[in-house]
A and B are shown apart, each in its own frame.
Chain A
Amino acid sequence: MQNVIEDLAPQAEPTSPPFASPGLAAIDQLLRDVPAFLDRIREGKNLAELARAMILTVAVGAAVFGAAMGAHRGGIQVLYSAVKLPAVMLLTTAVCAPALTAFNAAFRRQASMRRDLSLVLSSLALTCLVLAAQAPIVFLAVELGAAYHTVILLVVGCCCLAGIVGLTLFQRGLGLDPSAGRWAVGIALLMVFGVVGTQMSWTLRPFLVRPRTPEAPFVRSLEGSFLAAVVTSSRSARGIYWRESAPLPGESRRAP
């Protein structure tokens, strides 16, 4: 009888082994325990190790999503997009991270390059984890034969959702410093990140290749800027053109 009672008693859950790698532990903490994760950044504990883990997370997460995007074209484009998307993320961070420290200093908040960079990398890592989680959706759309523009819209939607999640973490991280100016700093950095990120993406395009392009290049030649493209597209939308069609790679850009 005693043995039956003991058998029916709730068993203590087996403790899961701790993560072998501190990097994996950091990623798990980023997903499960954001307050503790942010406390670690605020206290400046092992930030170099944290930064390495976050950079790796960005690289892998963005590569997975990039590969899903490139699957629309297939072939070598899968590899190209898997390489270029992490490059966009990390290069944009490298260019924009000093701006956060500068904004914090200008607003007389706590300004520490190490902590600010850790916060930006962590937000980006969470963004890329969400992107990686959505990669199967894009891949499914590709497999079901979704059209080029449909996949574009799907990718934009996935990036928006991932961006909102990352931005939420970033704003919480800024709130660790109770000084005024948290929202102004957040909005200012978002604008800098947005402008630089769009130009970086423009510079490293294409990620999804237009179906009529005969051969997918790794990177297109530098033509104008994202801003110029928005202006000219707005003119196109109003019917203002200066030639019949966009040149294919190798054709002359200028009208005869």
Chain B
Amino acid sequence: MTRTLVATHGRTALLAIAGPAVIGAALGMPFGLSKLLAEAGMVTAIVVGLSVFMIPALYIGTTLIGAAPSADRVGASAASALRAGGTLLLGLAPATVFLIATSQTRLVVWALGFLVLAASMLASLRILFSDLFTTSAARLRALPVFLVWSVVSLGLGAHLFARSLERSGATTIAQSVIEPDDKE
């Protein structure tokens, strides 16, 4: 029983960490090995760290409106959501690596990074919401708090991610170079 629990939790942790790490590595790939490793660490830290930072706020907010499940369940649901997000990122990794490897503009790195991470986070939020609030009444009551919490979390995540990309050398969107075309 203990071995099964350890195996399950281990697999969850591995998927939650591997997904962001692989995507981060893909995004840092055009800028050299050191940036690749740095970005892999940064994206993982942002995804996992932000989740750990924000989950207590969700628990407190939903408790205040009387819609919160137990703390254990909140933790388990958060882990499940992170696992789903990590799995999605791993599935999108081959496509992301290919698109970055065959493109020559920084805009692509930015756009792909935001798109892929946003897709993963939205999938995680969906699972978290459906796991935590299982009845229609609970969902209705918790929806405003959950929405505000989601917007703040996504906003923080986007801001931290943009700063990490700038540090890795991807510069800003405004500085991305796309050559104008020629007359034919």
Contacts and interface: CB of A to CB of B under 8 A. Distances in A.
Nearest to A101: B91
Contacts of A236: 181-184
Interface of A: 94-96, 98-103, 105-108, 188, 192, 195-196, 199-200, 202-203, 222-225, 227-228, 231-233, 235-236, 240-247, 255
Nearest to B180: A242
A100 B87 CA distance: 11
Nearest to B99: A199
Given A224-B179, A225-B108, A246-B182, A196 B98 contact: yes
Contacts of B179: 224, 228, 232, 242
Interface string B124-140: 00010000000000000
A114 B184 CA distance: 47
Q: Which 6 A-B pairs have the closest CB atoms?
A: A102-B91, A232-B181, A225-B103, A243-B182, A106-B123, A241-B183
B88 A106 contact: yes
Contact of B178 (A102, A196, A203, A232): A232
Nearest to B105: A228
A241 B90 contact: no
Nearest to A225: B103
A60 to B, nearest CB: 25
Contacts of A195: 95, 99
Interface of B: 84-85, 87-95, 98-99, 102-105, 107-108, 111, 119-120, 123, 127, 178-184
A134 to B, nearest CB: 28
Per DSSP, chain B at the interface is: helix
A99 B182 contact: no
Contacts of B105: 224-225, 227-228
Given A105-B88, A225-B108, A246 B184 contact: yes
B167 to A, nearest CB: 24
Contacts of A233: 181
Contacts of B84: 105-106, 108
Contacts of A223: 104
Given A99-B92, A242-B181, 20 more contacts: A96-B94, A102-B90, A105-B91, A106-B127, A108-B127, A192-B95, A195-B95, A199-B102, A202-B102, A203-B102, A223-B104, A224-B178, A225-B104, A231-B178, A232-B180, A232-B181, A236-B183, A241-B183, A242-B182, A243-B182
Looking at B91, B95, B178, which has the most chain A CB atoms within 10 Å of its CB?
B91
B94 A245 contact: no
A192 B103 CA distance: 16
B123 A99 contact: no
A106 B85 contact: yes
Contacts of A255: 182
Nearest to A96: B95
Contacts of B98: 95, 196, 199-200
A190 to B, nearest CB: 13
Contacts of B93: 98
A57 B119 CA distance: 33
Contacts of B108: 225, 227-228
A188 to B, nearest CB: 7
A13 to B, nearest CB: 49
26 contacts: A99-B94, A99-B95, A102-B90, A106-B87, A106-B91, A192-B95, A195-B99, A199-B99, A199-B102, A200-B102, A203-B102, A222-B104, A225-B105, A225-B108, A227-B105, A227-B107, A232-B179, A233-B181, A236-B181, A236-B183, A236-B184, A240-B181, A242-B182, A244-B182, A244-B183, A255-B182
